[in-house]
Structures are given as C-alpha cells and as structure tokens.
Amino acid sequence: MTDRLIIFDTTLRDGEQSPGAAMTKAEKIRIAKALERLKVDVIEAGFPIASPGDFEAVQAVARTIKDSTVCGLSRTGDADIDRAYEALKDAPSYRIHTFIATSPIHMQKKLKMEPDEVFEAAVRAVKRARNYTDNVEFSCEDSSRSEFEFLSRIVEAVIAAGATTINLPDTVGYAVPEQYGDFIRRIMSNVPNSDKAVFSVHCHNDLGLAVGNSLAAVMNGARQVECTINGLGERAGNASLEEIVMAVRTRKDYFPCETRIETTEIMNCSRLVSTITGFPVQPNKAIVGANAFAHESGIHQDGVLKHRETYEIMRAQDVGLNSNRIVLGKLSGRNALRTRLKELGIEFQSEQDMNETFKRFKDLADRKTEIYDEDLQALVSDSATEIANEHIRLVSLRVRTETGETPRATLVLSIGGDERTAEADGDGPVDAAYRAIEQIMDSGVQLQLYSVNAITTGTDSQGEVTVRLERAGRIVNGQGADTDIIVASVKAYLNALNKILFPVHREHPQTA
C-alpha cells in the first residue's frame, strides 16, 4: 500500500524569513497561484499577526486559492490565533498552525518559561484554534533538541486537545538522518494517541542535511514534509520541495509513499521564486539548477545520446524544462500575450494593468526579437516593482563609457514627484550610476551584493540585476530587469532603496 505524502510548502512564510526575501501581497499571490498549479497540499501563506501588510497578504492568498489548503502561522497567544483565523477564514480550506519551543535552551533562554507553562500554553492554543477549525497543526519548535519524555507528553496532550498534524522541526539544522528518522519513529510509538494525527517534519539546512533528514523521517512514518521552493528559508534554508518530491517519485521502489505534485510545474515555480526574491539558483543545484540536466563531458553525452538512462535518472520534461516554450515577439497581439500570461498564472486586476503590461511588452519586443516565458515573468515583476518604486523613480539615465576614459553617469530621479539631477564618475558605468543616485539620496546604505543574470540566452537577453542593501542591521533585496544592464542595475538599486527607506514594521515569529 502506498501512502500519500502531504507536501506543505512554506516558501511564503519560512522562505520569506530569509534576509531580503520579503514579498509584497501581489508577489505572494503570484507565487501562491503557481504553488496551487504545482498541486501542493498546503500553502503556508505567512504569519498574519506580523504586520497589517502580512495579514492582508495571507487574507488575499486565502481568498484566491481554491485547490490547496491555506495555512497561517501563529504563536500560542490568543491574539495570534484570532488574527490567523481572521486572515484565513475566507479560504475554502484552511489550517491554523500554532507553535511553541520545547527545547530546554529555547524555553529557558528565549521564552523564559517553565516546561509546565509551555505545556499549558500549547494545549490552550490548540483548543482555541480548534474553536475555529478542525484543521490544526501544532509544532514543537526545536524538537530535535528537546527532551524526549517532555516532548512525548506535550505531543500526546495537544493531540488530545485536537491537533490533527504534529510537526517536529529540526529548527537549527542540528539533526543527522539516521538519528532523526529514529527519533520520529520513537516519538510515534511512544505517544499513545499518535494514530490520531499526521506526523510532519520541517528541517533546516545548516549542515546541508535538510532533505536527507526529511526523507529519513518519511522512511520512519512522517507523512507530511514542510519544504520550500529552491530550499529558500531562514539561514541556510529549508528542505527543498523539488528535491523531496523528485526523490520520492524517482525512487518509488524505495519510498513507501507518493505525492500529488504536478512535477512539470517545478521549473516555473523555481524561476518565479528566484525572480521575485532575487535569490538566484546555483547552476549545480539538484533538479532546478541550469546544469541539472546538462551533460558536459563527451563520454556522458555519448551515453545519453545512445540511451538516456545511462546517465539520467529523471527526464528534463518531467520537471517542466523545455516544455511549452512558446515564444512571443513584435507581432504578437494582446490576446497572445494575455493567453500566455494566463497560462503562466498571471491575471490582471484591471484592464488598465493589462494595457500597461502590453505597452511594456511592445517596448521590450522592439529591443528583443524573441520573448520567452522568463522575460514575461520579469516584465510582470518589474511592473510590480515599479509600483513599489513610486516614491523614488528613475526618470532618465545617460551613461558615457569609452576605452581609457572614466565612466560618467547623469541621471534624473523623481522623489515623491520632485525631479532631481546628479552627475558622477565611477570605476565602471554601474558604479558611476550608483554614485549619482547617492549624491541625491545620501541614504547611508551599504551595498552587500550586486549580481547580474541573463534571463534567457543570447546577447539580446534581458539582464536581471539583484542588489542587497543594508542599513542599521536591516537587509533588503531589490530587483530590476532590462535589456540594458545599467538601467536594470539602477532599477534594482532604487527598488531596494524604496524598501529600506520606507520600512514596514513586522514581527518575527521566532523571536521571544
């Protein structure tokens, strides 16, 4: 008998906790729709009490998604649980996910609570959540460093209080596969009512073992895995969804379960998350890296050409590579664009938004002959970015470069509607443009990362630039795309500057 393995995606919550990966409501909706097409069972949309913006984003996802359960995170306090319910209640299917830390170090140093107080808070939270829904998940934060008997006692009590999913996270990525698998098996057999709940795992990747640990848990009875697209997440990230799903699928001879994931949507989700968050995917990343299905060595190529299975254990098209690469161009009309965007899960709230995107599409098509799906994703992201950029916007840019001469940039910015001009020299054209921006803004930010990626192949490809800025300990990412990489660089810098200069206060779920 093959069991169902529940795929719980937390890209929009734990993934978003990566420094600089914060997403807007519109971005969260786009990713949620892509996750729905991927057929994930549960989408953790955020932490509703974190800020009014987070609440609205979870609510918008709850009102949009029909085919996956939408989940909201809450600590054990009444206000957290009530807020999660308010954000989720319009979803056809929703789950409240409440958690508290159970390890001695977290209880003593972070929560400053006695184990009995933690026990009571957990039971009380689950009961409160059960007043709103019969789909309640309880997580014992830092479970892999928790004391076994205490953990068993709390798990038994929250199941008795109505928790239907028990999640045992390896919060700090400390576990190793054999030991963690054994731990899951022992807890499940030690807790008398464990058959009344689905056991779940949530592994962080600090030692590079998140996927290995999750799969070891699956072999020992866990039937839900919490994971993220591209392995995004706090610090070194979470278990990568695509790796878990493809491991279980490719080795169905070994794993006693299957998922309902539509694997051909994997690449689309991966690209979308990377574009929106500005976290590039490393080329040798399993499943979704640019090299994952490329064969460099002559011997491998020869083998693959003779018989694919000599070196390939999965088919590229099964993860959505090379499929449906419909190319649009200069002559494509509004309908072709609208149809392709719809297939990519992008729909517009108003005709005005569609008109604006069509204008931008035509402008791009004038500069670039073939427009691929990746270009469209960037085009739409860029429009969303432009909206976020409203306060500081690029009006015009002129850059002069010549061999042997110092590059010079002249730019005009609109700041809340007032136009300001600056001119600066730099080590290169991007440096000159950034210096000109700072002449006007004097923002005090530190540039921590600057990276350019070609969105597609060819020298006419759009460059997608990601910058990471830091100010007073706060980190944000900014993105920009354009066929002119200097313009893309300026857009990315302004995108990040807008976020860092006009911050929104958000509560972090895992601080005390």
382 binds ligand KIV (CB under 6 A): no
Q: What backbone phi and psi angles, to 5 degrees, belong to 447?
A: -85, 115
User: Closer CB to Zn ion, residue 14 or residue 41?
Assistant: 14
Per-residue x/- mask for ligand KIV, residues 56 to 95, rule CB under 6 A? Answer: ----------------------------------------
What is the number of alpha carbons within 13 Å of residue 272 lying toward its C-beta?
A: 28
- Residue 435, judged by CB atoms within 10 A of its CB (0-12, 13-18, 19+), counts as middle
Are 8 and 40 in contact, with CB atoms under 8 Å apart? yes
Which of 27, 141, 375, 464 is close enough to bind ligand KIV by CB under 6 A?
Answer: 141
499 binds ligand KIV (CB under 6 A): no
14 binds ligand KIV (CB under 6 A): yes
Q: Report the Cα 279 to chain-centroid distance in Å.
A: 9
- Residue 275: strand, helix, or coil: helix
Binding site for Zn ion (CB under 5 A): 14
Task: Name the residue among 181, 180, 231 with its Cα closest to residue 206.
Answer: 231
Beta-strand runs (E) in 342-482? 392-400, 408-415, 418-425, 446-454, 463-471, 474-482
Stretch 177-216 residues interacting with ligand KIV (CB under 6 A): 202, 204
Quote the least distance from Cβ 111 to ligand KIV, whole Å: 13
Quote the least distance from Cβ 266 to ligand KIV, whole Å: 23
Quote the least distance from Cβ 509 to ligand KIV, whole Å: 6
**What residue type is assigned to position 402 of the chain?**
E
139 binds ligand KIV (CB under 6 A): yes
Which of 18, 146, 171, 461 is close enough to bind ligand KIV by CB under 6 A?
Answer: 171
Q: Which does 139 bind (CB under 5 to 8 A by kind): ligand KIV, Zn ion, none?
A: ligand KIV
Which of 55, 99, 174, 255 is close enough to bind ligand KIV by CB under 6 A?
Answer: 99
Q: What backbone phi and psi angles, to 5 degrees, belong to 142?
A: 60, 35
Quote the least distance from Cβ 137 to ligand KIV, whole Å: 9
Quote the least distance from Cβ 507 to ligand KIV, whole Å: 13
Task: Name the residue among 114, 113, 186 with its Cα closest to residue 155.
Answer: 186
Quote the least distance from Cβ 265 to ligand KIV, whole Å: 24
Are 469 and 496 in contact, with CB atoms under 8 Å apart? yes
Crossing angle, helix 52-64 and helix 78-88, to 10 degrees?
Answer: 40
How many other C-beta atoms are found inside a 10 Å radius of the C-beta of residue 131?
Answer: 12
Position with the least CB separation from Zn ion? 14
State the DSSP string of 290-329: TTTT---SHHHHHHHHH-GGGT-SS-GGGGTSSTT-PPB-
Q: Which does 275 bind (CB under 5 to 8 A by kind): Zn ion, ligand KIV, none?
A: none
Quote the least distance from Cβ 226 to ligand KIV, whole Å: 7
Give the residues across from 287 on adjacent strands: none
Quote the least distance from Cβ 15 to ligand KIV, whole Å: 10
Give the residues across from 454 on adjacent strands: 463
Which of 20, 46, 162, 169 is close enough to bind ligand KIV by CB under 6 A?
Answer: 169
Rounded-to-integer distance, Cα 162 and Cα 133, Å? 10
Q: What backbone phi and psi angles, to 5 degrees, belong to 41?
A: -75, -45
User: Closer CB to ligand KIV, residue 59 or residue 139?
Assistant: 139
User: Closer CB to ligand KIV, residue 317 or residue 510?
Assistant: 510
Q: Which does 377 bind (CB under 5 to 8 A by kind): ligand KIV, Zn ion, none?
A: none
54 binds ligand KIV (CB under 6 A): no
Rounded-to-integer distance, Cα 479 and Cα 354, Å? 21
Quote the least distance from Cβ 27 to ligand KIV, whole Å: 20
Q: Which does 141 bind (CB under 5 to 8 A by kind): ligand KIV, Zn ion, none?
A: ligand KIV
User: Closer CB to ligand KIV, residue 141 or residue 156?
Assistant: 141
Positions touching ligand KIV (CB under 6 A) are 14, 99, 139, 141, 169, 171, 202, 204, 509-510
